Amino acid sequence: MKRIVLTSALSLIAAPAFAAGDKGFFTLANTDFVVLIAFLLFVGILLYYKVPAKVGEMLDARATGIQAELDEARALREEAQALLASYERKQKDVQEQADRIVESAKDEAARAAEQAKEDIRTSVARRMVAAEEQLASAQAGAVKEVRDRAVVAAVAAAREVVAKQMTANNANALIDDAIKQVEAKLH
């Protein structure tokens, strides 16, 4: 540090003030000399109070603070990268789970559709059986009604035929014959 001060002082002495000529350099009338003295006093005061060392300490403290901030930033960056990787893994897991849920829902929907088709087939079969039974019942009813009408028509026709052919003697003979049949079946 002393070399710097000595070099600075010598360079100021060799200043263009020597070219001034008639006045001497080492007089208070020479402004360059006064400035040189003030500068040397200022540098001396700075050295006495150890300002360069304090400035160096401040710069070292600032460099240490900056290094600490860089280390903290590096740690934060690593933490952020780890967090990002964790979120990416979670996102991948969630995506896989969503894919499984969608696949499961599709399978379940297909099974439900198949079950609905089977239920519809069963329902249609039951309705067909019921319709066939209803048709058979209606057919049996129609046959019975036709038979009943045929019986009624036959009875009416027989009544007319019997009424036309029946005489009092024939009627008495039929009644006697019916009474004999009843007596024979009762005994």
pLDDT digits (tens, 9 = 90+) for 78-136: 999 999 999 999 999 999 999 999 999 999 999 999 999 999 999 999 999 999 999 98
Q: Among residues 54, 44, 55, which one has the least CA distance to residue 5?
A: 44
Residue 179: what residue type? I
- Quick check: pTM over 0.85? no
Which element (helix H / strand E) includes 165? helix 51-165
| Helices 51-165, 31-48: crossing angle, 10 deg rounding | 60
